């Protein structure tokens, strides 16, 4: 008789393998080993983080001190990436600008993840009318173009860093509510949740001890993809003129200033544009690779 | 007419040769060898059953015949279909063979049809790529097929989409599609596993009739020995990718040649096995506890004279159906309608019925996992439906539930030790160290090693997971357990072991069970009493032997008659022409519907049947 | 079907009402008296009071609210605080330009993205897949102003194929086409990137379904399996995403209009924001909400064309 009392060995059938692959935490580590995309993204991102943190020590110039003698110069030994309209060193401004992009992107997504996840978890777990009402409200906000919503919020609140963080977080809450809700709806019907109720566990316990750990990998992956969006939104706001007020160096603001002189010196617009592109790309690569790693559907299908 | 590369002269040559011939077939996925050098033949007009438990490689074999495996599979050996070497054919020629020389039916009728194409199109398409049919000719042929597979109202249903068909009807459409081009071989991969037992009987009859008409060879893949006995001429038993036995069905059941086959057959409960017995009986599978408990019957008997452990009175659960512009309720699903029963201490009451009959909802309503509409559930002198808060939690501690899906009922991110300990700690009865000891004790008790407490659910097999769920349910020392299809997802040999465990535990702890199942043979094995549910109501209830050996309600009789018996000498598939087909049954009722009152008539003491 | 449309329209009206109310009260709650903002710090108390009266700001909040709602329904969205012209006229004069831009780029994006996604899915983990993956990741990483500037530098400034300023001076068909080309391509590339990725993953999922295996088992050729059996199933998630990304497209159109100096809603709203033109802003929000609600309605209806299971309930 085939006994079920032994732990299955390597030669277990594919159905067992599928269950193994659902353990997404393991996949996180695996992602970096097997997935070049995630690794490239992670390395690029780490480089930008290190440069941003080290900016005060490695930046050759003060990012806001003006030097009218070297205005609008191209790249040289003294100024590797040239200088802007006010004679400020582009490289130094880029290094300091990275700090604002990263901090705003990170903070706004942390807020959006925290608030959105709780909303989505609550709506998905309890279902019914509460779910309908919450998600209708989320859908209305979600349907509204995020950039325009952010634009209006920043314009009304005033372009300070915390207001920008708040505006971007606000636009990212509905997607996270949706991202959290969808798997909760599926998990809610799973029997381990029913079993938890049958065992007399409280709703809070089931939500935060059992459901949350199961949806967390999905959410963290989406967080890296949405941080890419947040960085892009911040740069876009600054490009429109609603970023942190000058002379603070922000990448979007630098593109804006460079764009005004694009016919004279295109590099002023190109360097900060490239910086935004590389950071957003790094985050997208990272998130994309992680998503492939935790999505058993995309990995095991024929 | 045939677009197949097989020339007519060749066909004549192979007429006497087997339709399908497999020799030394191996299938590898990377390191994992799913099929390890198997050989067998299928002759014209013959039905060969390919039998095995999950992971035996039987479905992989079926797919490799049609060369439908993903590219990651490496095939070795020989497959000849109608004399054609399937291993050497190019994609275009393979296409002509698929559907042309061999048709295939799959297990899941709900997902095997394309939801966005009409069923008529999907059937007529089979003709379009195998011969010079115009669309209208193909449609006409398809419509004729609809009649042959006995789809009522074929003309009207031709242009409808799959979601409007029941599971059994969809499987008929799959059969029509597979047989469209009169293939010489029909491969049926667990074609009735997902169907209710009465629908299964209809589909098996249909397949038998069609085979007689066309003299097609059939390769029938299944795990169900009862179905094997009903349909097969010859049986090929597979285990771990190898063929362990290949002989006629009569010989196999009469004197199985291989140990594995013998064990497989002994683990299969036979409806009628328990004739003349009153108490449940173990399968006698070798578990670590057999010695201690002895092989005997659960002779403890029940105490119907004592007050009931649980009594359900006029339980009703309805779900609103919404529709219209304002989403108003315009009807109710009468999932459970006025159901009453009692379960005595140390007794097992089985709740049986087909999918949608409300048996699972009844179980969940008792624990209020779904909120009942009306009724009372008395347990320990309390009405569970009118308690709340702490009292309800305390009642839930004393009534535990075991679910069907051993993959789904454990949190994948929690070690099994912590899963078993959590209820103990939440209910605050013990300290951490005490809980750890109790977990170790429970794991040993259900036949697992206590050392495995720190492992995650995915490291265990299905049967082991079900044991973990049982240990978790026992953690709170309940007196009543609701087992909702608790063994349905398990392989037959594992099923027997888990049933034995449940019976042992009942004896040891004096548990009462509400055993919810669709499997009549298992029910016969475990129950003291049986209740049959149809469309949300109990239609017959009574002692096990009375209900199963002397069924009174027509539905109970139909249900019992449809159960395949694993004994080829009792084969009941008859070759009558027209047969009734499954009518759509629905418990959805319009607003303001008042259910007709039920009246019961007592046949023998304790055996009640609905009066019609 | 009719019931479904009525229900969706009802929902649209409720949404619109909610957004209008929200906008009205947010604008009133925000610090700063609009009259003072318009006239500046140096304005006399008398002139501020006069303007407040003119704008109706001296009336009770509830009356203002009712006036606002009635006006919004009747198409009277007030006059711009800056230009003094009716808001609705200003909005309607640039609306066609933005609609033209979004629709053309939506169309181009789908035409490019769907086949690319299918191509990648069918050649999973082979060179076409890797190429489309890298290109589409680049496409959705580039902020619209970055890709716009790149297009502008290459095709307008270096090659001089297209005008640097797409201002709409030349009203001939070829002139409008030249004005439209770069902005539309800019938005279309981003749209195509999103559509490609969604199509790829949807197609991969569909190709793994049982009914695809069924189709292959009856001998249907590979091309027919993909385009007839798989494609319509794959379109269901693609439509969802197109509906969602239309919001992103509209947001990106703001940046595109700035980069290419093209008239449209984007430039209008940026102007209104920087000049604190509250009435104009209210009108803009109403028009954006209308567009969003309309897009949702069309998306919902599109499901029904593709998926017979949608019962319009």
Q: Write phi, then psi, for B611 (nearest 5 degrees).
A: -85, 130
Has residue B351 been placed in a domain?
yes
- The kind and range of the H/E element at B239 are strand B234-239
Nearest CA in chain A to B29: A14
Nearest CA in chain C to B98: C219
Name the more confident of A34 and B502.
B502
Q: CA of B417, closest CA in chain A: separation in Å?
A: 15
Residue B404 with chain A: CB contacts under 8 Å = 191
Q: Measured between CB atoms, which of C218, C222, C306 is closest to B99?
A: C218
Question: Residue A288: pLDDT band by 50, 70, 90 thresholds?
Answer: confident
**Do B182 and B101 have their domain in common?**
yes
Q: What is the pLDDT of residues A53-93, one digit of tens each?
A: 988 888 787 877 777 777 777 777 777 777 777 778 888 88
CB B608 within 8 A of CB B179: no
Has residue B174 been placed in a domain?
yes
Average pLDDT over residues A252-257: 88
- Asked if residue B576 has pLDDT above 70, the reply is no
Decide if A298 and C150 are in contact by the 8 Å CB cutoff. no
| pLDDT given for residue C104 in this prediction | 93
Q: Measured between CB atoms, which of B54, B367, B407 is closest to A13?
A: B54
Classify C174 as helix, strand or coil.
helix
**Do B229 and B323 have their domain in common?**
no
Size of interface A-B (CB pairs under 8 A): 128
Kindly compute the dihedral angle of the four CA atoms of residues A68, A69, A75, A79, in this order, to the nearest 10 degrees.
Answer: -80
- Asked if residue C82 has pLDDT above 80, the reply is no
Decide if A284 and C141 are in contact by the 8 Å CB cutoff. yes
Q: Is A162 exposed, middle or buried (0-12, 13-18, 19+ CB in 10 A)?
A: exposed
Here the CATH number for the domain that contains residue B80 is 3.40.50.300
Residue C211 with chain B: CB contacts under 8 Å = 111-115
Nearest CA in chain C to B161: C308
Chains contacting A (3+ CB pairs below 8 angstroms):
B, C
| pLDDT given for residue B570 in this prediction | 75
Question: Residue A109: pLDDT band by 50, 70, 90 thresholds?
Answer: very high
Name the more confident of B455 and A22.
B455
- Asked if residue B5 has pLDDT above 60, the reply is no
Q: Measured between CB atoms, which of A136, A140, A236 is closest to C19?
A: A140
- Which residues on chain A place their C-beta less than 8 Å from a C-beta of chain C? 37, 136, 140, 142-148, 151-152, 155-156, 228, 232, 235-236, 239-242, 252, 255, 259, 262-263, 266, 269-270, 273, 276-277, 280-281, 284-285, 288, 297-298, 301-302
**Rounded-to-integer distance, Cα B540 and Cα B531, Å:** 6
Please tell us whether the domain made up of C89-306 is placed in CATH 3.40.50.2000. Answer: no
Question: Residue A2: pLDDT band by 50, 70, 90 thresholds?
Answer: very low
Q: CA of B129, closest CA in chain C: separation in Å?
A: 6
The proportion of chain C whose per-residue pLDDT surpasses 70, expressed as a percent, equals 89
Range(s) of the domain holding residue B397? 310-413+456-578+591-610
Residue A302 with chain C: CB contacts under 8 Å = 207-208
Put simply, whether B64 touches A (Cβ < 8 Å) is no
**Rounded-to-integer distance, Cα C276 and Cα C284, Å:** 13
Q: What is the pLDDT of residues B342-372, one digit of tens each?
A: 999 999 999 998 888 889 999 999 988 888 9
Decide if C273 and A144 are in contact by the 8 Å CB cutoff. no
Residue C146 with chain A: CB contacts under 8 Å = 255, 273, 276-277
- Asked if residue B389 has pLDDT above 50, the reply is yes
Average pLDDT over residues B193-209: 87
- Asked if residue B301 has pLDDT above 50, the reply is no
**Rounded-to-integer distance, Cα A97 and Cα A109, Å:** 18
Q: CA of B231, closest CA in chain A: separation in Å?
A: 25
CB A91 within 8 A of CB A268: no
**Do B65 and B191 have their domain in common?**
yes
For residue A269 the two structure tokens come to 């617009």
The proportion of chain B whose per-residue pLDDT surpasses 90, expressed as a percent, equals 29
Nearest to B280 by CA among B505, B541, B607: B505
Residue C214 with chain B: CB contacts under 8 Å = 104, 106, 112-114, 122, 174, 177
CB B369 within 8 A of CB A194: yes
Size of interface B-C (CB pairs under 8 A): 86
**Do B252 and B319 have their domain in common?**
no
Q: Which of B28-32, B213-217, B583-587, C124-128 has the lowest mean pLDDT?
A: B583-587
| pLDDT given for residue A213 in this prediction | 87
Nearest to B501 by CA among B287, B224, B215: B287
| pLDDT given for residue A239 in this prediction | 92
Q: CA of A176, closest CA in chain B: separation in Å?
A: 22
Has residue B425 been placed in a domain?
no
Average pLDDT over residues C281-294: 82
Residue B413 with chain A: CB contacts under 8 Å = 23, 25, 213-214
Domain boundaries, chain A: 17-58+81-294
- Asked if residue B333 has pLDDT above 70, the reply is yes
Decide if B98 and C232 are in contact by the 8 Å CB cutoff. no
Could you say which of B233, B266, B299 is where a domain stops? B266
Q: Which residues pair with B484 in a beta bridge?
A: B516
Decide if A255 and C274 are in contact by the 8 Å CB cutoff. no
Average pLDDT over residues C15-32: 73
Could you say which of B214, B244, B266 is where a domain stops? B266
Nearest to C187 by CA among C123, C120, C100: C100
**Do B78 and B183 have their domain in common?**
yes
Average pLDDT over residues B220-244: 91
Q: Which residues pair with B220 in a beta bridge?
A: B49, B188
From residue C44, give the alpha-carbon distance in Å to each of A31, C36, C50, C58. 66, 9, 10, 17
- Asked if residue B340 has pLDDT above 90, the reply is yes
Has residue B443 been placed in a domain?
no
| pLDDT given for residue B511 in this prediction | 92
| pLDDT given for residue B70 in this prediction | 83
Q: Hey, of A273, A284, A291, which one would you mutate to test binding to chain C, going by the most C CBs within 10 A of its CB?
A: A273
**Rounded-to-integer distance, Cα B218 and Cα B235, Å:** 12
Question: Residue C208: pLDDT band by 50, 70, 90 thresholds?
Answer: confident
Domain boundaries, chain C: 2-73, 89-306
Could you say which of B251, B266, B281 is where a domain stops? B266
Residue B457 with chain A: CB contacts under 8 Å = 19
| pLDDT given for residue C305 in this prediction | 78
Average pLDDT over residues B132-153: 87
Put simply, whether B391 touches A (Cβ < 8 Å) is no
Residue C304 with chain B: CB contacts under 8 Å = none
**Do B404 and B480 have their domain in common?**
yes
Half-sphere exposure of C82 (CA within 13 A, CB side): 15
**Do B164 and B99 have their domain in common?**
yes
**Rounded-to-integer distance, Cα B351 and Cα B528, Å:** 11
Q: Which residue has the tokens 């020339």?
A: B7
Decide if B55 and A23 are in contact by the 8 Å CB cutoff. no
Average pLDDT over residues B148-176: 87
Q: Is the ipTM of this complex over 0.85?
A: no
Q: Which residues pair with B316 in a beta bridge?
A: B374
Chains contacting C (3+ CB pairs below 8 angstroms):
A, B
Put simply, whether B219 touches C (Cβ < 8 Å) is no
From residue A113, give the alpha-carbon distance in Å to each of A161, A218, B27. 19, 11, 46
**Residues composing chain B:** 612
Triad C189, C246, C285: Cα angle to 5°: 130
In chain B, which among 40-99 make CB contacts under 8 A with chain C?
66, 68, 91, 95-99
Q: Hey, of C29, C146, C212, C254, which one would you mutate to test binding to chain A, going by the most A CBs within 10 A of its CB?
A: C146
Chains contacting B (3+ CB pairs below 8 angstroms):
A, C
Residues A17-58+81-294: name the CATH superfamily: MetI-like (1.10.3720.10)
**Do B51 and B188 have their domain in common?**
yes
Has residue B396 been placed in a domain?
yes
Residue B461 with chain A: CB contacts under 8 Å = 4, 8, 12, 16
**Do B345 and B484 have their domain in common?**
yes
Put simply, whether C200 touches B (Cβ < 8 Å) is no
| pLDDT given for residue C181 in this prediction | 85
Residue A151 with chain C: CB contacts under 8 Å = 254, 269-270, 273
Task: Please give, one letter per residue, the 3-state secondary structure of chain A.
Answer: CCCCCCCCCCCCCHHHHHHHHCCHHHHHHHHHHHCHHHHHHHHHHHHHHHHHHCHHHHCCCCCCCCCHHHCCCCCCCCCCCCECCCCCEHHHHHHHHHHHHHHHHHHHHHHHHHHHHHHHHHHHHHCHHHHHHHHHHHHHHHHCCHHHHHHHHHHHHCCCHHHHHHHHHHHHHHHHHHHHHHHHHHHHHCHHHHHHHHCCCCHHHHHHHHHHHHHHHHHHHHHHHHHHHHHHHHHHHHHHCCCCCCCCCCHHHHHHHHHHCCCCCCHHHHHHHHHHHHHHHHHHHHHHHHHHHHCHHHHHCC
In chain B, which among 98-117 make CB contacts under 8 A with chain C?
98-100, 103-104, 106, 108, 111-117
| pLDDT given for residue A158 in this prediction | 81
Q: CA of A214, closest CA in chain B: separation in Å?
A: 7
Question: Residue B220: pLDDT band by 50, 70, 90 thresholds?
Answer: very high
Structure pTM? Answer: 0.81
Put simply, whether C313 touches B (Cβ < 8 Å) is yes
Q: CA of B34, closest CA in chain A: separation in Å?
A: 7
Q: Which residue has the tokens 């004729």?
A: B144
- Asked if residue C8 has pLDDT above 60, the reply is yes
Has residue B273 been placed in a domain?
no
Decide if C149 and A255 are in contact by the 8 Å CB cutoff. yes
The proportion of chain C whose per-residue pLDDT surpasses 90, expressed as a percent, equals 15
Classify C42 as helix, strand or coil.
coil
Mean pLDDT of the residues in chain B: 84
Q: CA of B374, closest CA in chain A: separation in Å?
A: 20
Put simply, whether C215 touches B (Cβ < 8 Å) is yes
**Do B343 and B208 have their domain in common?**
no
Q: CA of C114, closest CA in chain A: separation in Å?
A: 18
The proportion of chain A whose per-residue pLDDT surpasses 90, expressed as a percent, equals 27
**Rounded-to-integer distance, Cα B323 and Cα B366, Å:** 29
| pLDDT given for residue B324 in this prediction | 58
Name the more confident of C253 and A262.
C253
From first CA to last CA, the distance across chain C in angstroms is 8
The proportion of chain A whose per-residue pLDDT surpasses 70, expressed as a percent, equals 86
| pLDDT given for residue A27 in this prediction | 53
Average pLDDT over residues B82-110: 88
Q: Which of B6-15, B381-390, C83-92 has the lowest mean pLDDT?
A: B6-15
Put simply, whether C3 touches B (Cβ < 8 Å) is yes
| pLDDT given for residue C65 in this prediction | 83
| pLDDT given for residue C271 in this prediction | 86
**Rounded-to-integer distance, Cα B52 and Cα B224, Å:** 9
- Asked if residue A113 has pLDDT above 90, the reply is yes
């Amino acid at each position: 008789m085939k006994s079920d009392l032994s732990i299955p060995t390597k030669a277990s059938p594919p159905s067992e393998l599928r269950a193994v692959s659902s353990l997404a935490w393991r996949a996180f580590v695996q992602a970096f080993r097997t997935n070049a995309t995630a690794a490239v993204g992670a390395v690029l991102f780490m480089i930008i983080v290190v440069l941003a943190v080290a900016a005060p020590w490695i930046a050759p110039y003060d990012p806001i001190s003006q030097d009218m003698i070297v205005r609008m110069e191209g790249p040289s030994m003294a100024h590797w990436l040239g200088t802007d309209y006010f004679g400020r060193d582009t490289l130094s401004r880029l290094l300091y600008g990275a700090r604002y992009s990263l901090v705003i992107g990170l903070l706004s997504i942390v807020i959006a993840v925290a608030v959105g996840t709780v909303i989505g978890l609550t709506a998905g777990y309890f279902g019914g009318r509460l779910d309908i009402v919450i998600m209708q409200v989320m859908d209305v906000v979600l349907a509204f173009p995020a950039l325009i919503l952010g634009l209006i919020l920043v314009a009304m609140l005033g372009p300070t860093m915390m207001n920008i963080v708040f505006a971007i977080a606000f636009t990212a809450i509905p997607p996270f509510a949706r991202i959290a809700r969808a798997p909760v709806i599926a998990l809610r019907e799973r029997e381990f949740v029913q079993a938890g109720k049958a065992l007399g566990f409280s709703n809070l316990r089931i939500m935060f001890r059992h459901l949350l750990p199961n949806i967390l990998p999905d959410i963290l992956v989406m967080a890296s993809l949405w941080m890419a969006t947040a960085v892009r939104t911040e740069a876009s706001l600054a490009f429109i003129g609603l970023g942190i007020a000058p002379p603070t160096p922000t990448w979007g603001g630098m593109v804006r200033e460079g764009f005004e002189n694009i016919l004279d010196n295109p590099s002023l617009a190109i360097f900060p544009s490239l910086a935004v592109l590389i950071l957003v790309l790094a985050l997208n690569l990272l998130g994309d690779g992680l998503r492939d790693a935790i999505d058993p559907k995309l990995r095991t299908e024929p | 007419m045939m677009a197949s590369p097989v020339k007519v002269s060749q066909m004549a040559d192979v007429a006497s040769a087997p339709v399908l011939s497999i020799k030394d077939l191996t299938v590898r996925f990377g390191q994992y060898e799913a099929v390890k050098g198997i050989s067998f033949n299928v002759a014209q007009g013959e039905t060969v059953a390919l039998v095995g438990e999950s992971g035996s490689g039987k479905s992989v074999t079926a797919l490799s015949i049609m060369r439908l495996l993903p590219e990651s599979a490496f095939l070795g050996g020989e497959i000849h279909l109608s004399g054609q070497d399937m291993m050497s054919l190019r994609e275009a020629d393979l296409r002509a063979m698929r559907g042309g020389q061999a048709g295939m039916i799959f297990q899941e009728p709900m997902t095997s049809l394309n939801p966005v194409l009409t069923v008529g199109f999907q059937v007529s398409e089979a003709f379009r790529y195998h011969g010079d049919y115009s669309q209208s000719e193909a449609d006409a042929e398809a419509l004729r097929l609809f009649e042959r597979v006995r789809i009522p109202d074929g003309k009207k249903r031709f242009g409808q989409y799959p979601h409007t068909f029941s599971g059994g009807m969809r499987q008929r459409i799959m059969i029509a599609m597979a047989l469209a081009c009169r293939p010489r071989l029909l491969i049926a991969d667990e074609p009735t596993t997902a169907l209710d037992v009465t629908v299964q009987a209809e589909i098996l009859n249909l397949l038998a009739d069609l085979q007689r008409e066309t003299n097609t060879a059939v390769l029938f893949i299944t795990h169900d020995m009862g179905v094997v006995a009903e349909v097969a001429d010859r049986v090929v038993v597979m285990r771990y990718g190898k063929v362990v036995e290949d002989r006629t069905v009569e010989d196999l059941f009469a004197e199985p040649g291989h140990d594995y086959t013998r064990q497989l057959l002994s683990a299969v409960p036979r409806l009628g096995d328990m004739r003349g017995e009153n108490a449940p009986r173990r399968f006698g599978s070798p578990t670590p506890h057999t010695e201690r408990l002895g092989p005997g019957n659960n002779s403890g008997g029940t105490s119907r004279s004592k007050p009931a452990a649980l009594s359900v009175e006029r339980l009703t659960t309805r779900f609103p159906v919404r529709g219209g512009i304002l989403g108003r309720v315009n009807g109710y699903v009468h999932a459970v309608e006025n159901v009453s029963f009692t379960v005595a201490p140390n007794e097992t009451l089985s709740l049986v019925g087909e999918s949608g009959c409300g048996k699972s909802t009844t179980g969940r309503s008792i624990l209020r996992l779904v909120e009942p509409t009306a009724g009372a559930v008395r347990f320990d002198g309390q009405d569970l439906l009118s308690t709340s808060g702490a009292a309800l939690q305390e009642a839930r501690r004393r009534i535990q539930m075991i679910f069907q899906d051993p993959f789904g009922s454990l949190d994948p991110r929690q070690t099994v030790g912590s899963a078993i300990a959590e209820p103990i700690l939440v209910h605050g009865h013990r300290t951490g160290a005490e809980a750890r000891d109790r977990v170790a004790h429970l794991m040993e008790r259900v036949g697992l090693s206590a050392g495995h407490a720190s492992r995650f659910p995915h490291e265990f097999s299905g049967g082991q997971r079900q044991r973990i769920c049982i240990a978790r349910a026992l953690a709170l020392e309940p007196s009543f357990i609701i087992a909702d299809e608790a063994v349905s997802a398990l392989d037959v040999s594992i099923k027997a072991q888990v049933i034995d465990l449940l019976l042992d535990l009942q004896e040891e702890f004096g548990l009462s069970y509400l055993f919810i199942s669709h499997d009549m043979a298992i029910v016969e094995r475990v129950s003291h009493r049986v209740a049959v549910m149809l469309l949300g109501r109990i239609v017959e209830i009574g002692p096990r032997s009375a209900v199963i050996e002397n069924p009174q309600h027509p539905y109970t009789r139909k249900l019992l008659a449809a159960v395949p018996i694993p004994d080829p000498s009792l084969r009941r598939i008859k070759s009558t022409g027209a047969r009734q087909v499954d009518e759509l049954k629905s418990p959805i009722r319009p607003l303001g519907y008042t259910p007709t009152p039920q009246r019961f008539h007592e046949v023998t003491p304790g055996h009640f049947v609905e009066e019609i | 079907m009719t019931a479904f449309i009525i229900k969706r329209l009802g929902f649209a009206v409720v949404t619109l009402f909610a957004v209008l109310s929200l906008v009205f009260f947010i604008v009133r709650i925000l610090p700063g008296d609009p009259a003072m903002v318009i006239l500046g710090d140096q304005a006399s108390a008398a002139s501020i009071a006069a303007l407040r009266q003119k704008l109706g700001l001296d009336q009770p909040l509830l009356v203002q609210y009712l006036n606002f709602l009635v006006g919004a329904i009747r198409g009277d969205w007030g006059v711009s605080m800056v230009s003094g012209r009716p808001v609705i006229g200003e909005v309607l004069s640039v609306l066609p330009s933005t609609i033209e831009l979004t629709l053309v780029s939506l169309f181009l994006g789908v035409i490019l993205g769907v086949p690319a996604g299918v191509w990648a899915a069918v050649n999973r983990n082979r060179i076409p897949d890797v190429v489309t993956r890298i290109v589409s990741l680049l496409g959705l990483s580039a902020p619209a102003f970055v890709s716009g500037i790149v297009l502008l530098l290459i095709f307008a400034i270096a090659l001089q194929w297209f005008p640097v300023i797409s201002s709409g001076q030349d009203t001939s068909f070829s002139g409008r086409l030249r004005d439209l080309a770069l902005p539309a391509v800019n938005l279309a590339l981003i749209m195509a990137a999103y559509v490609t990725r969604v199509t790829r993953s949807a197609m991969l999922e569909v190709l793994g379904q049982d009914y695809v295996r069924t189709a292959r088992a009856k001998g249907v050729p590979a091309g027919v399996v993909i385009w007839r059996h798989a494609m319509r199933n794959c379109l269901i998630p693609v439509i969802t995403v197109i509906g969602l990304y239309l919001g992103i497209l509209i947001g990106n159109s703001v940046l595109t209009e700035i980069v290419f100096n093209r008239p449209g809603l984007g430039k209008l709203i940026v102007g209104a924001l920087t000049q604190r033109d509250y009435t104009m802003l209210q009108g803009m929000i109403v028009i954006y909400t209308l567009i969003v609600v309309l897009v949702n309605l069309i998306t919902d209806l599109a499901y029904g064309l593709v998926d017979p299971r949608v019962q319009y309930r």
